[in-house]
Structure 1
Amino acid sequence: MFRLNHLAGVLLLHFLRLLPAVAGISAGALWAAPTGEKPEVTSIRQYWLLPVERKAQPVDFELACTVTYIDADPSWRMLFVQDDEGEAAYVPYGNNAYPFRAGEAILVRGQFLPPSLDVSFEHAEVTRRDAPPLQPLDCTKEIRNHAKFIRKYVALEGYVDWVRRVDETHMQMSLSVDGLSVGCWVQMSPTTSTPDLIDRRIRVVGVYNAKIGTDGHLDGLEIMVADFSRIETVGHLDENPAFQLPAVPIGSLRGRPTDQLMRVTGSVIAREVGRYVRIRDGSGQVDIMTGQIRPLAVGDVIEAVGYPSTDGPNWRLEAGFFRLSARSPNVTAPASDRPLGLAAEVHGLPAEEAAAGRPVRLTGVVTWSHPNSPFFFIADSSGGIQIMRGASDSMVRSPGRNVEIEGVTAMGEFAPVVVASRFQRVSDAVLPLARSVSVEHALSGVEEAQWVEMRGYLRRVHQTEGWKRLELATATSDFIAVLPATEDVSSMIGSVIRVHGVCTAKADERRRLTGISLWVPGIAYVHVEEPAPADPFTVPQRPLASLGQFETVQSFNRRVRVGGVVLHHDAGKSVWLEDAGQSLLVWSGTGDTLRAGDRAEAVGFLGRQSGRIVLRDAVIRRTGESGAPVPAKVAHDATGMQARDGQLVVIEGQLLDDVRIAGTTRLVMQAGELIFVAVLEEHDAAGAPLEILSVGSRLRLTGVHEREFDQAGRPTGFRLHLRQTADVQLLAAPSWWTRGRILTFTGLIALGAVLFLGWNTVLRRQVRDQTGQIRAQLEREARLQGELARAGKLEALGLLAGGIAHDFNNLLTVLMGNISLVRMEAGLTGEPAQSMEQAAKAAARARDLTQQLLTFAKGGAPLRSAVSLPEVVREVTEFALRGSKVSPRFDLPADLWAADADKGQIGQVVQNIVINAMQAMPGGGTVEISLSNREVSTEFAGVLAPGRYVRLDIADHGPGIPTGDLARIFDPYFTTKKQGSGLGLATVHSIVKKHAGHVTAESTLGRGTTFHIWLPAAAAGAVVPSVPVLSAEAGKANGRVRVLVMDDEAFIRDLAVSVLRRHGCQVTAVADGAAALRDYTAAREAGQPFDLVILDLTIPGGMGGRETMEQLLRLDPNVKAIVSSGYSNDLVLANYQAHGFRGMISKPYDVSDFTDTVDRVLRGERA
């Protein structure tokens, strides 16, 4: 819609431009036509056809037209008219106050003044005239014909999806008209209530206000309705006779007349709101092309009606509409002996069932085939599938042919396939539209056997076993495109190309994905986007500082030329360039030999390596000399080092270890609190090899700073890439009196004493025993000193974490509360609703993270309740593995008991173990997670009390843990990883023990590790708390409930007042316990006592919730009170009933949790 608050700025700009031309005439001044002169323009079209040069001069006009829509509201100010010749226009009218209504015929005389080129009534006089009423054009069946109807007065019919009141005088509706979603704006009287029109079929008369895209197609449509009298109800969705048609199987739509209305029933499997709903029954799959936007969930069963059509192998019902069905789809789930009829059904089989040879009967279009290949690919309406020719002697069909296939399922290298016993051509067909996908998306495996489009730089071509294999590189990874050997693509080497083909996975012997290939039917499906240049260095040069900025985003998959000073050249591999304080890693296997200080240019393709922008597949040349680069001296702190990525730096520190492996020297260094590794490759070491250095030496190192990233692209530390032996300078050798030498000297003295007193056996035994006791005491004291130092650091970090988490919880309380308030607003749908849902999930995740901080800070007494472990395990696992090469496999039985546990802490247990499993399989793999019910009697005596437990098993297939280390994995600070803290599994052990549970681990080298966790089950019949449904009206108090809120944070008090008042309560808010006691006492004495009190547990510098509750219980033993705190693991919260509270809310909370607790306490329940 073109609302005038958007056009006001444009109109004002036009007016300011008009000032010189109409000096002395105000913007609202009316123009009077010269007497006796015929105006030049008498119709809207006549003005539009004037040359631009003529429109640059004032043009007299006289228009006979009808007002089709007028809105004088200052926030809207809109006018549409249609002249007697049938042409229509949106007309700005400045500040003129026209006392006309929609439907009135008017005569307009005035001038069109430059620079505006559109019809305008700003400088015109308007009078009423007599004319027959304007009749609307019916556009229901031609709703997409914007060229015919744009801005004209039309009538249409459609079904109402939703209605909302925008303000006192405007209502908005969404209609589904002939498969298109149409917005509708209606002017309303302030005294008219919003009607209930959902699912009704209505006839609307108004202005066709279309939004046209840059490609000339319809991007959106709104109907501007002058008043509610122009809306007429003509039916209801449930009364549509089309729903009385007999339902047909989806698979039978092929061959049905395209002008015959068909009805189908199926389960929803996908949806694009406002465009289509994809449903499936046991016989096939179809897209319902509909403008309906009512909420639907995957799995819902709907009835749908429309006209059948095809889009390649995909079936559609055009001009469709649907309704929820209480019945099951007309074709039931396939029995084991019924032939599978869809490619997606085959792909959905478990490996064991696919290998059992289920019967298959498919019809689809061939997407790839070759006479010499033992397989080919087809695509039906549900997707693609690989067909093995097997023993069939049927002729292979070329791409673009519809075939019918009979056979059985089998398990392929990666996914289920079909082994054909017979296939035959049915008809010619059109290949499906190739969907553009990235390598990262394809590497997930979801595009297996699908017809797709991919782009990349053609690095080289190999010919093997009758095929040409094109090696293509993208911004982050590589893939292979396979063509018949007869195709000549040599001229494309070095080009950026776009390829259409069938995506397939390469897998190892355990069917784990290792790469992808694209099977391309022929060279006709390869398109050059950027030819290989004769001289790549003719590409315009870009400064390093611009890489990654908005203006270079389009440079991905395009050649980029950069220049700078060489910091380090790893011959045949990579070069670090620096220019104007910015640096870039260039991957290049070709080019000139370079030295530090040379100036060089490189041309390649921008890409990403973890979190760093790099230049891939580059050619590089030397252009001059700039002198040796000067290293920057950096501070020993993490913040200072983060900004040094790719720069030449010098840093001093102490050597912790000197490791030499396979020609590579790794110096483990400590500089202040930073621990890092400096690496010197043997082929980089100029001159004599680096001498062995003593641990404890103080060194000055010069090298290129390289940030290191985890699998999610987050920085985890850095390493220093040394360029030559001279980059290592010894500043100070370690003291000669090392601990080892002192112990050796002490041993020699002891040995001498033993030899001297050897004749006295008893005395020798006493000396030996005493020496052992002294040594043990020294070792114990050394361990205690180390433990005390670590405990001090951990306590300080814990205090800091606790304070940060408490403050962050307060901020999250306001954030989550306001997000909940927004989500409760009626009519919030589409992208805004999805955005708010994502925001709510992100805030909830932040809440879990702060809970982990508090657990780390204080040890965390668990807040135990009945918990459904499958939900926790699945959510946490999928979050922890997101972006990695590791996938989960779940075994979560439906009859699992609820656990008596703290949901947040158990989530932390799962996350820590799953992250360990992911790190144990850097090349990818599967984490197997299962839950089961266990009755424990005496087999775990001394470890677990007899009773009911839920056991959680988490298994990886990594290298395993050595037997000597397995017994220590739960010890604090013990770790086998270079970057590990040693706290992850210690935290797991601590949390499980606080739950009165038990955790064990077993491991086999080369096969993997499994953790077993026993958690107490909740009492039989315990109800798992459900998430209350957000509603603006449900559960409101009656308006007489009085609530007293105490919190020291003003913004939390404001949120609580807003939520409770919205909930129908009368609210008083105070900042501390003294004020709460004063107001509570005054209310009782006035005969208006508070029904509920909500107390913040911690009030800095004042009386907190626990002390206030003690005083309130003395005043009123029956007081109903809820305790709230940002320290969600405080012992008062864990045992709130012992302190007299009826309920507990831990911050941050959202509106539904908050109001649900309030309602339960008011009803007298424990919450």
Structure 2
Amino acid sequence: MDGRFRILFVNPAVKTITGYSPEELIGKDFGKVFYPGALYDQVKKVMGEFNKKRDIFQYSSTIQVKDGSLRNMLWSTYSVRDKKGRLVELNGVGQLRESDQVIAESFADTRQKLAQVYDAYDKLYGSQAFWIDIVDNQGKVIFWNQGAEKISGYNREEVMGRSEVWEKLYPDPEYRRELFAKGKNFLKGEQVHNLETTVTTKDGKKKIISWHSNNLLDASGKYVGLIGIGIDVTERRRIEEQERLAQKMEGLARLAGGVAHDFNNMLSIIQGYLEMTLEAMDYADPLRENLLEIADAVERGAKLTNKLLAFSRRQVMEPISYDLNRSIKDMSRVFKRMLGDDIKLVLNLGENIPPIKADPAHIEQCLLNLVMNAKDAMGNFGTLAISTSLAQISHPGLLNPNLAKPGDYVLLSVADSGKGFPPTLKDRIFEPFFSTSEDKPGLGLATVYGTIKQHGGYIWVDSETGRGTTCHIYLPISQEPVEEPRQKELKTEMPLGVESILLVEDDVHLLTLSARILRRLGYTVFEANNPGEALLILEKYPENIHLMLTDIIMPKMNGIELSKKAIELRPSLKVLYVTGHPLTDLADQAPGQFAKNFLVKPFSSRTLAQTVREILDQK
């Protein structure tokens, strides 16, 4: 039937049960034909089940046949929906019931009759994407439709009259015993509703099948067989798994970003006062060495927060259009040194791979992390393969904004021959500080995940215990010509100034420190502990204020909103944003002329001095 319950196809068996020929029913409203008058209330109840968007379910109902008499029916239905979840097609198998028993007519060979009756259904269901099988009371297959052939890989000739196929589909003895134990309950009359099992297909792949089944009984109530209807939900479950993972990682990323922001504030204060103390201290002072150790600890802490920011997708990036293949070739010597002599490195770099839009330093760091993880998984021996190719994501289920968007990508794959990991760990491998190696917890894969997501790419991992691990990374293609990585100019001077600066920071300790540094550089500094104070200074102070240096994350009003109000008051005012959350979503809202004026915590006094001078010198 279509989404309006108009009959599109019905098999010849309908005449035996209802008295109607198929020609009389095509195009008719199913509900009006078989559920006239008070019987139509049953249709309303069934609609409630359809609204739950169940794929397969079973229900009983009473229909009125052509001669006006009533028949009790057992229906097994399968629904087809469009991308928006609307019902577009409904397929059903109806069986005549009496006192909740399926009446099998008196034929000498019940198995043969069952096969004959249900073989007619294959004309309807043969090309559909679901599996129908019938087994007798010994577990032997007596019906196997084309859907079952397509999904399992086993053709009808291989399974008919045999029960061995179940051992092939469920090769794990323990798992098979668990399923057969449930099967004993089914023999007692229990029905199966949306039972999901994992089968191993003929080519060795794992597929998740959602089952619905019903027992077949003869006239005396004796169990004679079972009809099972299954749908392959493997892809759907994979998408749901990605969605759960994306939601989980989003929550962890927000947490990590918040921790990094607060930690960066503290590091900035420690670093600032430490630099001023070292600057005032004699080089021969015996305590200088202790302070240098503190400075080293601050640097390590800053690297840790940078990794947390990478995971939370808030790194400072300078994306360009660059050649990934060339980058991998250039790094291959480094990879070989990391892997050692007994691990073979194989490069399978595709031809005519277009450039990607990414920050080369960050992508190269991802590769280094993946190679190091692979080395740990393989130990001293094995093979590491790095591959590139063109790939397309086209599955409509991936339109969820948290998942991959359909389109063309450059696929980067890193495959090792290591020990792999069980599927139960797949949801955790990208978590910060999680590791399959107890002695090496860290942020390696977490930073890879965050970096790839920040680039607009996608990553997922295939792994199985004893069969190695492959990381698949999809990176967006650049439409621009290849650019050369920009070389950063190393500056050592501490430029001075005489301009007026409005400093806005809600952390009073960081506010005091920054003001001290700027005043030592020669600037006139106005301090504001919140946006309200800042706006009041801009309104009341009669002289020129050249620069507003403001934190972004503040209560009540963020730095971006403050800058817009400040520019309305003083159109010539320049703005420098300071944040522990680089490239937050707020950055896109900054006034165009200041969109790139960011200073990331923690920063040194020299970095502050140089950045302030650069902004003030802008024309």
TM-score (norm 1): 0.27
- Which of the two has greater helix per residue? 2
Query: Is the radius of gyration larger for structure 1 or structure 2?
Result: 1
- Which of the two has greater strand per residue? 1
Q: Which has the higher contact order (CA 8 A, sep 6+)?
A: 2
